[in-house]
Structure 1
């Protein structure tokens, strides 16, 4: 009974199976991308929360240290102690801001996935360019 199909029907059936396989592979890739994005979002949220708490504790500790320096030099050089403390804090803040700007310009989200897709696209383009030459021979 399987031989009752004509060549056109078998070709159509094979095309449908190929299309079904391609759609399934694409769906699998999309699910992996979504999963990767969800994991990255959770990691980023945890990272931001811990960074914020760390920054708050460091800020309080630095404020206490600056207060200690000012109290130690209160009788002799109070203005110099305040000025030097402020300059150190502002200079450190400026250096860290420049570092943050440099790091923020890097694109890392799905970097490897995009690189792999570019490689796949280049391979397909190269095969398409080489195929007409092979047919002429």
Structure 2
């Protein structure tokens, strides 16, 4: 076996590995894109309906208590909406911090290949 043929086989093997990793990375990128678009669409719809509901309930409470406790109800609604904002903001920050790293499967596969190639 000559050096030239073994170098070609090694090069072909490395290209094969690279091709597999690029295909895996492309698949993961497409999955991430689809997941992000779905989350954005559903999140936007949820947000819109939640705002409409909160607005309707707030107006209903103000109408019901207009003659007796309008200021107390308005303050209570503001405090409720502020607490909801803080809770959702905290939840968002926590979920972003705990999110799985993108391309984790590709990075794991590259690490396994590196361990196999290097003694």
Q: Report the TM-score, using the length of structure 2 for normalisation.
A: 0.84
* Equivalent runs, 1:79-90 vs 2, <5 Å: 79-90=71-82
Partners of 1:124 and 1:39 lie apart in 2 by 28
Residue 30 of structure 1 is aligned with which of 17, 22, 26? 22
Partners of 2:81 and 2:17 lie apart in 1 by 54
Aligned length: 118
Question: In the TM superposition, what is the alpha-carbon distance from 1:31 to its structure 2 partner?
Answer: 1.5
Select between 15-24 and 104-113 the one with higher mean Cα deviation: 104-113
**Higher RCO (CA-CA < 8 Å; seq separation 6+):** 2
Contact 2:62–2:70 (Cα < 8 Å) also in 1: yes
Which ranges in structure 2 are unaligned for 5 or more consecutive residues? none
Partners of 1:56 and 1:98 lie apart in 2 by 20
- The alignment status of 1:78 with 2:48, answered yes or no, reads no
After TM superposition, what 4+ stretches of structure 1 lie above 6 angstroms from structure 2? none
Partners of 1:87 and 1:26 lie apart in 2 by 56
SS at 2:67's partner residue? helix
How big is the alpha-carbon RMSD for the aligned residues of Structure 1 and Structure 2?
A: 2.1
Question: In the TM superposition, what is the alpha-carbon distance from 1:21 to its structure 2 partner?
Answer: 1.9
**1:113 aligned residue:** 106
Which has more helix, going by share of residues? 1
Partners of 2:11 and 2:112 lie apart in 1 by 22
Q: Report the TM-score, using the length of structure 1 for normalisation.
A: 0.75
Partners of 1:18 and 1:48 lie apart in 2 by 44
